[in-house]
A and B are shown apart, each in its own frame.
Chain A
């Protein structure tokens, strides 16, 4: 098997990285192999240690971290034996890196051409000017960027997000590396741009026989891109194997639950969240780290961390119950039940809005019915948040009418009646910013109650308790400050605060985009239950098409400040009429579509 071994560009053996301060392990027992020309998807939720492993391939232990065990071999050479000079040659030369946010990775003060040629100066010194120019041109062509002088003379801020990421990719591939580490390079990009960037990475990795490690929380992206997948949970790899095996015959309970939490474009199914939260370094239990959240856990799981078991070629699982786990493909459950819509709650008529002198919305017209969930989809800059803010009275620079129960509303929330403010409640995108960090959860919700209802002390406390229970938080959460809660818990508090006003319309502005998929699924479940229980109407704003499928009755598709298509969810997904919608659907990554390409013949 020497041929195969020669092909192995990256080999990680029992890697362990500790926090230098406390000795708690960030990641441990990491075993990975990536062959040349192959893409490995390293999947995990926030805090799982996936970025730590990615950075370790560049010979970095993250700030505060220290490599305390194991070995990393690049082209068969151990990183630990290298001098700092050799490591510098390695980084960017043999192993290169595509960052998450190119906006901060590119030097804003240097022209694009200068930054690209710097890479070559460092890693290919002595080559002729002519050869370097040729290489530069070639690299830019590969990432579909113009190689003319005019483009090279630009500064990073003169490029779009997608172009910046292409420049970063060009820089990564310029020195013809053997290994490339991509750290969620498409997180900040729109789906259309994302699709193009992913295609570029895949093509380059294949054509140059580069071993790529693609670190991501987005399972759908990984399904489309990767050949092999490793799933990380709380600093360990719990399962790894060929892509099709991981997505179609997952063995580890965490992988199964994670797949069930991902909304999918093609799948008409409900998403199911995972309760609890991943243990942090220093607080990890003695047995399997997933055991406290696992339905299948037995006593043995709580005593020892499971060793790896190999099922099929290259498919290893760290779980005692892997064989007992039900063998079903995790695509069950019904999507959101179609609701009985009633009369109109909010109507938006001929709304034109501007940011300063720039017009952001053009003649927007729609309504939301009682007990209906309307989704507003669009890419960044499409104006969807502006609509939401107009409705909530937070953006008052608009013309046209917004009506609540056929009463025209004043432009700004300050001039609206208390009743109108109570009826429309807004939940913000980022739960880290929408709660006052200096108030306890109880104080935040109690304030909302006192604003809208004449309640006394005892009544307030009782109602705060009720509200917390309705969003599945325990009553003692009332005495916590927001920084003592996780992102998902904070978003629940924000929802409880909105519910405290007993609104008729809940405006949800990208409320799950800052959260992990398992938490997103739990929030979506919660919203669905609330709608069934209370007959609440919802305006659900998102850029995630797959998510809509599981929650919305009706969809409005927006681009450049206009609604280009609207209709019932199933119709729109089945037969989109606008070109833009079709393009959006085609570019949205989907696990089932990605696997379908492979699995379709066998069915």
Chain B
């Protein structure tokens, strides 16, 4: 029997790292980052409906009335409670933004890694298509498509997602190119691993850090973009409570009942910063865990 001389001491020194423990360590490290803590607070604020005093579409006071005992921040253009509508209005934005981000990052990831691995003509074609999409500012592209197909929530999600994809693809291709050159990819080729498995089994786990950064960045952009589309009136339709819709409804009365605009604007800003801080914290924690800190 061959002995285990080589590893006896070295294995005793290194801490065991089973998959599950890695995730737990990552989660703990994430929460140690101050960024994540602040970020988490903003996202938690979206549990607003639980503490809302009124239903979002209930008429409780006179239109554009100032803050009173019935309505903490006054009434909106139709006499609904601004505070309650504000507390309800974040879920739609965040929900749509998350969905759009998943679509955008997912699509970009597949395109980017495929281009990085296959190289040559496939890479050339995919990246030139991406260039064409990137030539349009995202909002212009979205408006163009909404004008063509009419406003609807699933369409907005899809459009925002697709408009993210080329940018994500660029980044993932760049990250993938460095990994593709390493020998473990060659090793997988030599034993005949299918291409699909090489891309998603070998390549993908090695580009998770840039991937996470992209998720955070795209989520932030999605929130801004979707809130803008809702504001313009191309997304969520009244009377649903939504921050973008609220700004639009209340903007005419902004001079004497500012809360109907100020609250959703501040909320969108905070949510954008919050999601960004949270994903940034996560990415930093991941780096830390990888370095064994």
Contact B205 A439 (CB under 8 A): yes
Select from chain A the residue with minimum beta-carbon distance to B194.
Answer: A414
Of B8, B11, B18, B205, the most chain A CB neighbours within 10 A belong to: B11
Q: Which residues in window 3-24 of B have CB below 8 A to A?
A: 3-11, 13-14, 16-19
User: Known: A433-B182, A437-B206. Contact between A477 and B7, CB under 8 A?
Assistant: yes
Contact status B5-A275, CB under 8 Å: yes
Alpha-carbon separation in the docked complex, A413 to B188 (Å): 10
| Interface residues on chain B, number (Cβ under 8 Å) | 31
Indicate if the CB atoms of A501 and B205 lie closer than 8 Å: no
Q: Mark B188-231, 1 if CB is under 8 A from A, else 0.
A: 01111100000000100110100000000000000000000000
A393, B190: Cβ atoms closer than 8 Å:
yes
* Chain A residues closer than 8 Å to B136, beta-carbon distance: none
> Is there a chain B Cβ closer than 8 Å to A488's Cβ?
yes
Partner of A489, one of B7, B182, B189, B191: B7
By a CB distance below 8 angstroms, the chain B residues around A481 are 17
- Indicate if the CB atoms of A469 and B9 lie closer than 8 Å: no
CB proximity of A124 to chain B, nearest CB, Å: 44
Residues of B within 8 A of A397 (CB): none
Q: How far is the CA of A138 from the CA of B23 in the complex (A)?
A: 63
On chain A, the number of residues with a Cβ less than 8 Å from chain B's Cβ atoms is 51
Q: Which residue on chain A has the smallest CB distance to residue B197? A: A447
A430, B9: Cα distance in complex, Å? 23
* Chain A residues whose C-beta falls within 8 Å of the C-beta of B3 in the assembled complex: 472
Q: Are A472 and B2 also in contact (CB < 8 A) when A277-B10, A292-B9 are?
A: yes
A492 to B206, CA, bound (A): 22
With a cutoff of 8 Å between Cβ atoms, the chain B residues found around residue A292 in the complex are 9
Does B186 interact with chain A (Cβ within 8 Å)?
yes
Question: Does B34 touch A at the CB level, under 8 Å?
Answer: no
A492 neighbours in B (Cβ, 8 Å): 6
Contact A488 B17 (CB under 8 A): no
Known contacts A292-B9, A480-B14, A489-B10; A436/B184 CB under 8 A: yes
**Closest approach, in angstroms, between the C-beta of A218 and any C-beta of chain B?**
23
Contact with A along B160-203 (1 / 0, CB 8 A): 00000000000000000000001110110111110000000010
Task: Confirm or deny: B140 has a beta carbon within 8 angstroms of a beta carbon on chain A.
Answer: no
A427 → B minimal CB distance (Å): 9
Contacts of A439 in B (CB 8 A): 205
Contact A473 B4 (CB under 8 A): yes
Known: A413-B190, A414-B189, A484-B17. A275 touches B6 (CB 8 A): yes
For residue B5, which residues in chain A have a CB less than 8 angstroms away from its CB? Answer: 275-276, 472
A392–B186 Cα gap in the complex (Å)?
A: 10
Q: Using a CB-CB cutoff of 8 Å, which residues 222-276 of chain A contact chain B?
A: 275-276
Sample of 5 further A-B pairs with CB below 8 A, known A416-B192, A429-B183, A434-B187: A418-B192, A421-B191, A469-B2, A469-B4, A471-B2
- Which residues of chain B have a CB within 8 Å of any CB of chain A? 1-11, 13-14, 16-19, 182-184, 186-187, 189-193, 202, 205-206, 208
7 contacts between A and B (CB under 8 A): A276-B8, A426-B187, A426-B190, A433-B184, A471-B2, A473-B7, A480-B11
Top 5 nearest A-B pairs (CB, nearest first) are A275-B5, A474-B4, A438-B205, A434-B183, A433-B183
